[in-house]
């Protein structure tokens, strides 16, 4: 599989173990980088032709020809204006969709906090793989689709994907989408999908954009990897819960 391929995998139930560095490297090599394929530029004439190939537009074009044939030029002009307006609106919507996809792609964070070899650390977002355990805090961008294993007062801003203006309260077991932002609280989540298999690539805007998209390949994340046991809430060195409000910055033992 090429480096631009995507991965999708279910999160093992109850698993909060981090990958070993060797296992993460193997998955990165096998499944590719956590990157969304950029949409190719579509020339204006191609967008116009796409709009004109619509069935309704073809019917209207036929009506223009018929009205001209019978000498009804006024009706022909009206129908032609409808075609022009409809085509212009369709092309404008496609351009806005392309711009939205570009803006979503720019949301990808340069780094992500993950568990590797039972220790927290930062890795480039493009090197996050299915099965990685993300450590999320306020202001973090979710770099891949993930399933929450732990959450404390977690609010997630999904406005760039869903248009919702109010952050959503997320609990353990909830699904987080790539490109969303942690507005408040903390969480620990297991990556389930990266690259073009993520919600960032499958957003409504990208489905209307005129770019090429690679097929998503399914991969199962093993329920156990060669790494130490998963840390629990009590493993965090802080008063109270690992994700409690009294713990401003988690410190790993």
pLDDT per position as a tens digit, 204-236: 444 444 443 333 323 333 333 333 344 443 344
**C-alpha torsion 223→228→234→238, nearest 10:** -130
- Name the nearest CA neighbour of 185 among 150, 232, 151: 151
Q: How far apart are CA 165 and CA 218, in angstroms?
A: 32
Q: How far apart are CA 154 and CA 191, in angstroms?
A: 17
Q: How far apart are the first and last CA of the chain?
A: 38
Q: How far apart are CA 104 and CA 92, in angstroms?
A: 18
Confidence of residue 105 (pLDDT cuts 50, 70, 90): low
90 has pLDDT over 70: yes
Give the pLDDT score at 156: 94
Average pLDDT over residues 90-114: 78
Give the pLDDT score at 186: 94
Considering 27-31, 133-137, 199-203, 240-244, the range whose residues carry the highest mean pLDDT is: 133-137
Confidence of residue 99 (pLDDT cuts 50, 70, 90): confident
Give the pLDDT score at 146: 93
Average pLDDT over residues 41-49: 87
85 has pLDDT over 90: yes
- What's the pLDDT tens digit per position in 164-183? 778 999 988 999 988 889 99
Which of 16-30, 77-91, 95-109 has the least mean pLDDT? 95-109
Q: Give percent of the chain above pLDDT 70.
A: 67
Confidence of residue 39 (pLDDT cuts 50, 70, 90): low
241: Cβ contacts below 8 Å, ≥ 6 apart: 152, 233, 247
Confidence of residue 17 (pLDDT cuts 50, 70, 90): low
82 has pLDDT over 60: yes
Greater model confidence, 10 or 142: 142
- Name the nearest CA neighbour of 158 among 181, 140, 141, 175: 181
Q: What is the 3-state secondary structure (H, E, C) of the chain?
A: CCCCCEEECCCCCCCCCCECHHHHHHHHHHHCCCCCCCCCCCCHHHHHHHHHCCHHHHHHHHHHHHHHHCCCHHHHHHHHHHHHHHHHHHHHHHHHHHHHHHHHHCCCCCEEEEEECCEEEEEEHHHCCCCCEEEECCCCECCCEEEEEEEEEEEEECHHHHCCCCCEEECCCCEECCCCEEEEEEEEEEEEEEHHHCCCCCCHHHHHCCCCCCCEEECCCCCCCCCCCCCCHHHECCCCCCCCCCCCCCCEC
- In contact, 158 and 180? CB cutoff 8 Å: yes
Evaluate if pTM is beyond 0.75. no
- Name the nearest CA neighbour of 253 among 116, 238, 243: 238
- What's the pLDDT tens digit per position in 49-62? 999 999 999 999 99
Which of 5-19, 20-34, 66-80, 165-179 has the least mean pLDDT? 5-19
């Amino acid at each position: 599989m090429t480096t631009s391929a995507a991965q999708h995998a279910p999160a093992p139930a109850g698993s909060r173990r981090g990958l070993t560095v060797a296992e993460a490297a193997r998955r990165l090599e096998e499944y590719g980088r956590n990157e969304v394929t950029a949409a190719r530029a579509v020339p204006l004439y191609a967008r116009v032709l796409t709009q004109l190939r619509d069935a309704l537009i073809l019917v209207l074009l036929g009506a223009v020809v018929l009205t001209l044939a019978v000498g009804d030029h006024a009706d022909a002009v009206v129908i032609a204006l409808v075609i022009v307006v409809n085509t212009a609106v369709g092309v404008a919507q496609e351009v806005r969709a392309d711009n939205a996809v570009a803006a979503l792609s720019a949301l990808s964070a340069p780094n992500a906090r993950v568990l590797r070899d039972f220790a927290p650390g930062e890795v480039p977002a493009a090197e996050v793989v299915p099965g990685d355990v993300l450590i999320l805090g306020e202001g973090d961008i979710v770099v891949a689709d993930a399933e929450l294993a732990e959450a404390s007062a977690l609010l997630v801003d999904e406005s760039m994907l869903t248009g919702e203006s109010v952050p959503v309260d997320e609990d353990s077991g909830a699904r987080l989408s790539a490109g969303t932002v942690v507005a408040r609280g903390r969480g620990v989540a297991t990556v389930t999908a990266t690259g073009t298999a993520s919600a960032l690539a499958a957003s409504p805007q990208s489905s209307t954009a005129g770019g090429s998209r690679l097929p998503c390949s399914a991969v199962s994340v093993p329920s156990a990897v060669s790494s130490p046991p998963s840390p629990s809430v009590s493993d965090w060195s802080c008063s109270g819960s690992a994700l409690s409000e009294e713990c401003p910055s988690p410190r790993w033992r």
